[in-house]
Amino acid sequence: MEEINLISDTVTRPSKKMLNAMMSAKVGDDVFKNDPTINALEAKVANLFGVEAALFFPSGTMTNQTAIKLHTQPGDQLICDKYAHIYNYEGGGVSFNSGVSCKLVDGHRGMMTASQVEDAINPPDFYHSPLTTLVCIENTTNKGGGACWDFNELEKIKKICVENKLKYHLDGARIWNALIAKKETPKQYGALFDSISVCLSKGLGCPVGSVLLGSEELVHKALRIRKILGGGMRQAGYLAAAGIYALDNHWKRMAEDHLRAKEIGEALKAMATVKKVEPIETNIIIFEVDENQISEAEFLAKLKQRNIHIIAMGQGKLRMVTHMDFTQKMHEYTLLTLASLG
């Protein structure tokens, strides 16, 4: 069996067809907004979400950081769950780029309730505490195990944002998975948020790329921030072509990744050495081993010996992520391997 990499859904490699689409892209200088393929991708994603404008970026970190920069002033505070990617995995960019602090909410699987958000808002007239100006949510949640939000709760949070004059940002790195799992539409999300970041380089299988979505005005301002952060690229239409190809060909197949993740979850639950498997809604599987029987490192090593690569999350948790390069053959081998390890 060839190497099976379940470390992340970012490990995918572009297929021949995607590479062909990339190689035949018409390109121009995107810093002058003259790359027809990037312009086409931006229009496609903006239309999909029913928003005015979109901007192509090299990474999801940069789209999130740009949105935070645009919605805040130095000294402000944003509200997010304690598991949020913007807080845990963007190198401290919130403080570095925007001079902003995070009020962490103790949510469930990376998701907060509207009343938790309301409680986290600092009174605007109390000048001793930082001014709350932004709420950031993540769907699906990464550290929360691919959990999907209840859309009603997102609407309740929106209401609180409006009442308190807070901006509302969605880190939708894996929104594609949530839309498939919950049978929701991108337009529902486009109508709710002031800005949305989506990744093309996760479940959609592109080598590079993220898109920031919002109003004409926000995206116009984002152009300058992207330039400041060093994210202005030239003939990057070759990369955008991968995005267009992926949206047309790789999105709807994600249900397969979700089904395989659930089946792996069942196989893990049947193992005596596995203590707990978190609920699986999309393509992320987070589980804990019974430390009395086997350590995390031993469990990882046993799978590695059998050519299956997964990752430790700390605090006794391990993670597997299914993706489009994880084939049915690999899936069957993985299920058999887990069963044989007991």
> What residue ranges bind ligand PLP (CB under 6 A)?
59-61, 64, 85, 138, 142, 171, 173, 199, 201, 210
Please report how close the Cβ of residue 10 comes to ligand PLP at its closest, in angstroms.
Answer: 7
- Which CB, 107 or 121, lies closer to ligand PLP? 107
CB atoms inside a 10 Å sphere around CB 35: 26
Query: Residue 144 or 267: which CB sits closer to ligand PLP?
Result: 144
Q: How are beta strands 132-138 and 167-172 bridged, if at all?
A: parallel
Bond prior to 334 in cis (omega within 30° of 0): no
Pair type for strands 101-105 and 132-138: unpaired
Minimum CB distance to ligand PLP smaller for 5 or for 337: 5
CA 192 to chain centre: 18
Nearer Cβ to ligand PLP (12/64): 64
Q: Give the separation between CA 87 and CA 68, rounded to whole angstroms.
A: 12
Cβ closest to ligand PLP, residue 37 vs residue 66: 66
User: At its nearest, how many Å lie between ligand PLP and the CB of residue 84?
Assistant: 8
With CA atoms as reference, report the closest residue to 326 among 279, 284, 269, 275.
Answer: 284
303, amino acid identity: L
- Measured from each CB, the residue nearest to ligand PLP is 60
Strands (E), the chain: 4-5, 53-57, 77-81, 101-105, 132-138, 167-172, 195-199, 210-214, 274-277, 284-289, 308-309, 311-314, 317-321
Residue 303 beta carbon to ligand PLP: minimum distance, rounded to whole angstroms: 22
How near is the Cβ of 140 to ligand PLP at its closest, in Å?
Answer: 8
Q: How far is the CB of 79 from ligand PLP (least distance, A)?
A: 16
Q: Between residues 142 and 282, which has the closer beta carbon with respect to ligand PLP?
A: 142
**Min CB(265)–ligand PLP separation in Å:** 20
Helix (H, G, I), strand (E, B) or coil at 234: coil
Q: How far is the CB of 111 from ligand PLP (least distance, A)?
A: 12
Q: Which amino acid is at 168?
A: Y
Residue closer to ligand PLP by CB (options 59, 66) is: 59
Nearer to ligand PLP, 98 or 142 (CB): 142
User: Min. distance of Cβ 142 from ligand PLP in angstroms?
Assistant: 4
* Residue 122 CA, distance from chain mean position: 28
Instruction: Indicate left, alpha or beta for 103 from its phi (over 0: left) and psi (-120 to 50: alpha).
Output: beta
- 3-state secondary structure string, 235-247? CCHHHHHHHHHHH
